[in-house]
Structure 1
Amino acid sequence: MKKVITYIAGALLLTASSCSDFLDINQTPNNPTSVPPSVLLPTGLVGTAFANNNELNRFASTIMSVTAGAAGSPATYDIYNTDGADFGNQWRFEIYNGALISYDKVIESADAIGAKSYSGIAKIMKAYTFSIATDVWGDVPYSDALKGDASTQPLVDKQEDIYKGTAQIQSLFELVREGLADLDAPSTIKPGADDVVYGGNIANWKKAGNTLLLKFANTISRKEPALAKQIIDQVIANGNVITSNAENLSVKFGSAVGSRAPIFEWSAIGGGSFQNDLLISTRFVNLLQSKNDPRLEKFVTKPTGSYVTVDNGFRGTLPSPQSTWSRFSSYVTGAAGEGPVRLVTNAQRAFILAESAVTLGTAGNAEALFQEGIRASMLLAGVTPAEIDAYFAANPSEVKLTGTDAEKVKKIITQKYIAAFGNGLEQWNDWRRTGFPELAPHQNAVGVDGTRPVRAQYINQEISRNPNFTPNIQPNVTVWWDVE
């Protein structure tokens, strides 16, 4: 899907700065105006969710053997074939000239009137959005980005510096902490319905910010275990994290045409021109069936009463008719496109703490946290508490952590992979960090030496216009935090 769905592109351009090719309508030379943060905030939140849920999700879900490519871009992703022509719109319109510019505008507008609640949320989400960029591409513009005409050729910061910071560069951790400090400060106005995540519940935003610190620490934990442990220990001591599904950092879309989640639009349910580009992978269905997992029927459709899937990289005759294919269910898309897009969840928090208890020695019972994550995911999918209890009783080998530390981490990450269904980027991040879940190579794989991509290549347009980029970094070159 090389083009951006037009409704969100139009919304994001409302806050694009002069560093883009588009007019900044928030400023006029004859009649300067100030856009209130309540107008800007939902554009940023929806923009971040759009970036997570759109083409980058089609890519990651496919290379992670959750979906299988049948046509278009997913068919090339499925055999690991990527290049610098991919994701240009995601880089430019959804991330840099989209959500990130929106958050900068929120902070500027909020600071002008002392609306610390808005600036706090914007800083937390700005950190999350920058993490998408660096996790996908590695070294990216960060400290020198978003500066308008002065930064048409921004410096490219090392991923290590983005995560850890330097004397000149504020780390992602510090950006989140600054946002949390703003949320603790008095605020002249506070969000309400314009906050499409929590409806203005600042207490939940504080929990989300602290849980995001856990996510970032988890991301770098293989490369920087001591730093990761220090941060996780601090968050555990604070204790103010997401602990229920109702507190998930999930962005809600609308159900009307032009306001729906992108995954709905590019699925069969949305009925768009991309609806038959992919279907669910046989491998994902087989994984859940091997575990007797009750989430399978909640996650995946079966129009014929049976699952109709194909293997990754399959190049034979596809099942017919296409209406029989197994797809993402309404758990992912929403009944009418509302999603939500789940960015940081209760289950994710539990799995992070279970992993860190095993690998870093942080506080908490790893098995209890592991089981908490499974239960949270199953409840979110619509499995009843009684059904979950029955599953635990009937499948003890699936819910108990036994064996070596590596075997325990394998179980934790495999369950985290299942729980992240619909969020391919998180599944890809964990696989790159840990090597789990264990995924067999796709059929007919090409790419670089037939290996599964571990990064996206830099955008051709960015390389051509900005000499600060290192050209031709191939998709088999690991990012800084990936030590597998």
Structure 2
Amino acid sequence: MRRLYIATIFLGTVLLGSGCKKFLDVNQDPNNPMDVSEKLILPPVEVTVSTQVVGGYNGVNNAYWMQQLSQNQPSPGQETFRIFPVDVDNTWTYYIYPNILNNLRLMMNQARTAGHNEYMAIGKTLYAFNLAIATDVWGNVPSSEAMKLPEVSRPKYDSQESIYQQLQVLLDSAIYYAGQPKSAIAPGTDDYIYQGNMAKWKKLAYMLKARFYLRLTKAPGHTAAAQADLALAALANAFADNSDNATVSYTGGAQAESPWFKNTEPGAGGVVMNKTFIDFLKNNNDPRLPIIATKDVDGGYTGRVPGATTIPDPTVLSQVNSFYAAADAPLFLATYAEALFIKAEATFIKSGAAAATPVYQAAIKAHMDMLKVDGAAAQAYINSRPALTAANGIKEIIYEKYVAGFLSIETYNDWRRTGYPELQLPENPFVNYIPRRWPYPSNEILANPQPDHKVTTADRVWWDAK
């Protein structure tokens, strides 16, 4: 994975060189270099998605707000909702738009010209994945004009509703390209997610279609039943088992550590397990607890009270365990367990508790298997869970999805959409509500003023309807 790190540096050098070596040529657009191959563009894009977005500020912030992790600091601002436009600058200004979406656009332009179907499929899938992340946290964002520099220096903002339509179009196109004959030049080791396996990329595209369909169960103009039908149809072609999980692996060497290792190592803001999450696992006698969290100095499991200003000795608190936080731990972008939880919820919506129960149980088992929990212990836990009913079905499904989605960016989306898990405000909150969105970044507010920038973190995005 050290080569993965070098590739990131190399692409930046190549793109920079593409602009600088012809600095005096006004007809050369440094945002559109034409001499960088797809094999050089793809690796650093995937690394940026994994390390700087899913495992970066987005993932860390979600884990704090959803009370899975806590900051062992005297003033834990991030987990108490102290978020300002400058805090989200990097995610927008350096990662999602230029390093991911623009580079994917360049890659797809090259692939389209050369007839490289595989890179088209991967590019469209990753484009949809990251555009969804942007619209989910900010609402209306640039899309249709976002990649038209330098002609359009101040792109308009597209509605979230139109972006969600675009996501499905992108994924349908990805599925088409993934099914085309193999190209003369196809991805292999330069693809850190699936190593060029297009059958798996096709499954991921279907999985994301289901994720995005179910996101709209309460969106204006949509019904839960219709979205459930669409999700179930997509899932019929999505992940079949844990071998289909979309992951990025890390070797753990210098400059090649998992982002959650870097996020939780000593000195990384004093990151520890949150009391809310630990207590939920403890109260349910969940066999995943010792795999997810380390023991405290007394041999038990203790999470930090969210928002507390006291700073206990870190040894009395549980840390994130090695499955998720080792230097060589994989980063999960989408999992079979998530696919089954989506299926369980969609089945519950369409067919009721009895039909959803075996799917719900299979989803729990899939996550247990991913963590390599003993089979008997896993089954005993599943048997101990409350039966799904018309009254508790969504709650039970989402609570278990919350556990299986530990450190996932999806837990925040599910909380906004369903209200689960039912979270209390942390101590000493900066605002008296859990934010429904992020503020727009300061760089964007200055460079491209828009009416949308007037929203506050209390305002809901389009699909987050009451």
1:42-63 deviations in whole A, cap 9, x for unaligned? 1111111121111111211111
Cα distance change, pair 35–70 in 1 and its aligned pair in 2 (3 A): same
Cα distance change, pair 111–289 in 1 and its aligned pair in 2 (3 A): same
Counterparts of 2:132 and 2:10, CA distance in 1? 22
Cα distance change, pair 364–191 in 1 and its aligned pair in 2 (3 A): farther
Partner of 1:215: 211
Contact 1:245–1:345 (8 Å) recurs in 2: yes
2:430 to 408, 421, 446: 446
Counterparts of 2:375 and 2:17, CA distance in 1? 51
Q: Which letter maps to 2:303?
A: T
Q: 1:262 Cα deviation (Å)?
A: 2.1
1:169-219 deviations in whole A, cap 9, x for unaligned? xx1001011011011112232211111111121111111110110000011
Contact 1:156–1:469 (8 Å) recurs in 2: no
Partner of 2:49: 48
Does residue 178 of the first structure (1) align with residue 173 of the second (2)?
A: yes
Contact 2:274–2:306 (8 Å) recurs in 1: yes
Does residue 326 of the first structure (1) align with residue 318 of the second (2)?
A: yes
The SS at the match of 2:332 is strand
In the alignment, structure 2 segments of 5+ residues that lack a partner are none
What is the number of residues matched between the two proteins?
A: 448
Q: Which letter maps to 1:313?
A: G
TM-score normalised by the chain length of structure 1: 0.87
1:37-436 aligned at under 5 Å gives the runs 37-50=38-51, 51-71=53-73, 75-164=76-165, 171-186=166-181, 187-223=183-219, 224-225=222-223, 227-236=226-235, 239-268=236-265, 271=266, 274-304=267-297, 305-316=299-310, 318-320=311-313, 322-333=314-325, 335-336=326-327, 338-361=328-351, 365-393=355-383, 395-397=384-386, 400-404=387-391, 407-423=392-408, 425-436=409-420
Q: Which letter maps to 2:126?
A: M
Cα distance change, pair 70–110 in 1 and its aligned pair in 2 (3 A): same
In the alignment, structure 1 segments of 5+ residues that lack a partner are 1-5, 17-22, 165-170
Q: 1:258 Cα deviation (Å)?
A: 1.5
Q: Mean Cα displacement is larger for which, 277-286 or 411-420?
A: 277-286
Q: 1:323 Cα deviation (Å)?
A: 4.8
Q: Which letter maps to 2:322?
A: S
> RMSD in angstroms over aligned alpha carbons?
2.5
Counterparts of 1:441 and 1:76, CA distance in 2? 13
Counterparts of 1:129 and 1:46, CA distance in 2? 13
Instruction: State the percentage of identical aligned residues.
Output: 29
Cα distance change, pair 104–71 in 1 and its aligned pair in 2 (3 A): farther
Q: Which letter maps to 1:420?
A: G
The SS at the match of 1:150 is coil
Q: 1:266 Cα deviation (Å)?
A: 2.1
Deviating 4+ runs (over 6 angstroms): 6-9
Cα distance change, pair 24–111 in 1 and its aligned pair in 2 (3 A): farther
Q: Mean Cα displacement is larger for which, 153-162 or 108-117?
A: 108-117
Contact 2:232–2:343 (8 Å) recurs in 1: no
1:353-380 deviations in whole A, cap 9, x for unaligned? 1111122449993111100110001111
Counterparts of 2:152 and 2:79, CA distance in 1? 36
Q: 1:28 Cα deviation (Å)?
A: 4.3
